[in-house]
Amino acid sequence: MSRVKRHFVFWLSIFFYHCMRLSLLFPADHLRENIPSVIIGSFTWGVLTNMIISYITVYYLVPKYFLKKKFVQFTTYLLLLFVVAMTFGMFMTQINRPLNNSISSATTPFSYAPIRASIIRILGNPPLICLLLLSLKKIKDWYIKQNENKTLARENNNAELLLLKAQIHPHFLFNTLNNIYFFILSEPVKAKKLVEKLENLLYYMINECNAPVVPLCKEIAMINDYFELEKVRYENLDIELKVTGDDNNKMIAPLLMIPFIENSFKHGTSKMLREPWIKLFLQIDEDMLYFTLTNNRPADAAIMKETGIGLNNVKKRLALLHSKNHYLAITPTPNSFTVNMQVPLA
């Protein structure tokens, strides 16, 4: 609903409320003859006066003075506004004297004096309607802010995903292409298989990871291809990949696991001169994936920092995607690195 329509509905509701309220002040046999006066009174007092006071208060005095903690100026201008409104009310009371006289004769033996009627109306309806309008405005502002935050989170998530996809380790690509070139000369069949795996991996990362979630089976297949390509780079590399559970019809945010796997090669196996190994265990439950990655490293190697660009991206993406519904722990020991992660599945 557009802003104009929302405000129209609000003031139309206020108008009908005042029509009903004023109508109830008349006995049934006097109501029909006073309908014009009820309509005029509902419009002038119920809508016009309240509209002027409410809009000036909610859209000018509150943001300009009250929210900036200028309470003296806010109170001064608010009192001035009510004095002006009361003066206007006295004028409208005189114009609509038939309504006041009818209400007075129908409900009480005393007549409404213009000042008394104005005070009752100004101190009665406007504060309540101002609070109602302000409350609705705050609810609308909160709703818009929530939508903006969600949009910003999605945009940040997409931007970080694009950055993450651009962070395929240059050395990995360079060395893999060198290995393929070597095998083209010595083992063409093996080189062809390596090209196919590299093509599959890059195609998946570039074209299929644009969706918010991807099939878990494709993510695992991509990891398999990555391992096969890395095996060519490192002699005697022992890789163990164990998957338990059913990955059918399971979805996951793309490229959450690959930064940790890439780091295990970068900070672990690439530093090992003898017997490098990597162990990856994936346990698939109904709605959760348990990821455990362990690799060895030289005893004198520097401990992997948790503030790398890739790891920071993963942490931010986890926070954006799953808020607190995830777990991540990176544990270095003198001879190994271990990453434990739990992420929800869709």
Which residues contact residue 255 at a Cβ distance below 8 angstroms, ignoring those fewer than 6 apart?
Answer: 161, 164, 165, 205, 209, 219
Q: What is the pTM of this model?
A: 0.57
DSSP-based three-state secondary structure for 242: strand
Q: Do 235 and 271 fall into the same domain?
A: yes
Q: Which amino acid is at 160?
A: E
258 φ, ψ (degrees, to nearest 5): -60, -35
- Residue 162: inside a domain: no
Residue 264 lies in a domain: yes
Q: What is the CATH number of the domain that holds 248?
A: 3.30.565.10
The answer to whether residues 144 and 190 belong to one domain is: no
Angle at Cα 157 formed by Cα 154 and Cα 160, nearest 5°? 150
| Tokens of residue 239, six digits | 């890789």
Q: Are residues 116 and 265 in the same domain?
A: no
| Distance from C-alpha of 269 to C-alpha of 276, rounded to nearest angstrom | 5
Instruction: State the Cα–Cα distance between residues 335 and 211, nearest whole angstrom.
Output: 38
pLDDT digits (tens, 9 = 90+) for 37-78: 778 777 877 788 888 888 998 889 988 998 888 999 989 988
Domain-embedded: residue 286? yes
Exposure class string for 42-64: b at 16+ Cβ within 10 A, else e: bebbbbebbbebbebbbeebbee
Using CA atoms in the order 40, 42, 45, 51, what is the torsion angle rounded to 10 degrees?
-110
User: According to the model, what pLDDT value does residue 123 have?
Assistant: 47
Of 129, 154, 179, the last residue of a domain is: 154
Average pLDDT value over all residues in the chain? 79
Which range among 68-82, 145-159, 302-316 has the greatest average pLDDT?
Answer: 68-82
**Residues 134 and 248 occupy one common structural domain:** no
Are 342 and 326 in contact by the 8 Å Cβ rule? The answer is yes
Number of domains in the chain: 2
* Domain around 39: 3-154
Residues 6+ apart with CB under 8 A from 15: 42, 43, 46, 47
Whether residue 37 is found in the same domain as residue 171: no
**Same domain (yes/no): 318, 189:** yes
Write out pLDDT tens, residues 330-339: 998 888 889 9
